[in-house]
Amino acid sequence: MNETILTNARIVREDEVVTGTLVLKDGRIAEIAKGASTAPGAVNCGGDHLIPGLIELHTDNLERHIEPRPGVAWPHMTAILAHDGELASAGITTVFDAMRVGSIVQEAETEYGKYARALSREMFGLRAKGALRISHFLHLRAEVCSETLLEELGEFGPEDRVGILSIMDHTPGQRQFRDISKLRAYVMGKHGVDEAGFQRHVAQLKALQEKVGAAHEAGAVEAAGRLGAVLASHDDTTADQVEVSRGHGVRLAEFPTTEEAAEACHASDIAVMMGAPNLIRGGSHSGNVAAERLAKADRLNILSSDYIPSSLMLGAFRLGTVWDDLPRAIRTVTAAPAAATGLTDRGRIAEGLRADVVRVAHVDGTPVVHGVWSQGRQVG
């Protein structure tokens, strides 16, 4: 038997924090007991928190590893392993790796190519060989404003473990980039284009949206059903957009950009996910609604690390302060994302569930990961 005993810990359960002992055995949580253990080999946690392993639903981190600089391709195997290790070190034990489907292949300043099918196969191979530390699912980001979306979606099947499919529409002048100046700064900074090149980029995307936007959106909805994936919206801005999402069967809203959209999601029983970097920074880098504002209005259900893996832990504990309720805050990065994606075997510290557990200390008020167990195996 593979057994780990963690004692003298503050164990964060769904609705309470208890001081006691956690026993991990054969990949499962075997026992939760109050008080300290004197069993040989028990790890004295010194009052640190024990929380469920974090569950990340939307991260661009893998894309950052395969292309660390614009135009710089990195070997996929080492990129996947580095990404996997980074997430483990941040306390994330389950991840839905976001991969874009839908490319622009014609000559353009911001041309981007197809990669998701090949990259996901390499990840499946590493998973089959036991080379990954944590649990990986796919999150396909279906880019409506592209040339090849339907073709790329057609390359995936139910066997690919696609957990989430999100409908992305980055047409300039709406949703995330209603403020064109924010888009200009992003595109010109990332791709090094001049004003004329930026204007060509805007015109190209608007033309694509007009030509294929409706067909691509319908195709993405159909693909989610075919793949058995949770359908998510992205950057809903108005109540009307949320109503369209509801009609598609969306149950998860990624990063609504306004209070109006978040309120409409709440009324439609659509879970609202916001970015932890937004929460930590005090606002959105695109000028959209602040995550803390939605949290204080009780319109935030799930946190995502988005583009900074370490922000997920930091954001959860920040929410604990905002709400003065640590168990509720920890649910936004554990039980709530598990429920949103139908994962019933994790996301809580309860007997019989997966032994995905994180030990968290505090240094000058900042949460610091001191141990990570994935299915009872220490991975960080």
CATH code of the domain in which 44 resides: 2.30.40.10
Give the domain range for residue 41.
1-52+348-380
The pLDDT value given to residue 203? 72
Tell whether 130 and 39 lie within a shared domain.
Answer: no
Residues 146 and 20 in one domain: no
Residues in CB range of 128: below 8 A, 6 or more apart: none
The answer on 250 and 360 residing in a single domain is no
List pLDDT tens digits, range 29-87: 999 999 999 999 999 999 999 999 999 999 999 999 999 987 789 999 999 999 999 99
Rounded to the nearest angstrom, the gap between the alpha carbon of residue 228 and the centroid of all alpha carbons in its chain is: 18
Q: Is the Cβ–Cβ distance between 70 and 54 less than 8 Å?
A: no
The confidence band for 175, taking pLDDT boundaries of 50, 70 and 90, is low
Together in a domain, 292 and 375? no
Residue 355 and residue 213 share a domain = no
Number of H helices, E strands in the chain: 13, 16
Per residue in 203-214, pLDDT (tens digit) is 777 777 778 778
356 and 297 inside one domain? no
Q: What percent of the chain has pLDDT over 90?
A: 79
If asked whether residues 197 and 231 sit together in one domain, one would say yes
Same-domain status, 30 and 74: no
User: For residue 283, what pLDDT is reported?
Assistant: 86
Q: Are residues 147 and 276 in the same domain?
A: yes
Same domain for 363 and 285: no
pTM above 0.95, yes or no: no
The answer to whether 58 touches 341, Cβ cutoff 8 Å, is no
Shared domain for 157 and 14, answered yes or no, is: no
Instruction: Write down the pLDDT at residue 182.
Output: 63
Query: Does residue 321 or residue 105 have the better pLDDT?
Result: 321
Mean pLDDT of 230-250: 96
Q: How many domains does the chain have?
A: 2
CB atoms within 10 A of CB 311: 22
**Which carries the bigger pLDDT value, residue 344 or residue 180?**
344
Do 72 and 41 fall within a single domain? no
pLDDT in tens, 285-299: 777 899 999 999 999
Backbone torsions φ then ψ of 140, nearest 5 degrees: -90, 120
Task: Please give the average per-residue pLDDT across 350-354, as a whole number.
Answer: 98
* pLDDT of the residue at 184: 65
> Looking at residue 83, which CATH number applies to its domain?
3.20.20.140
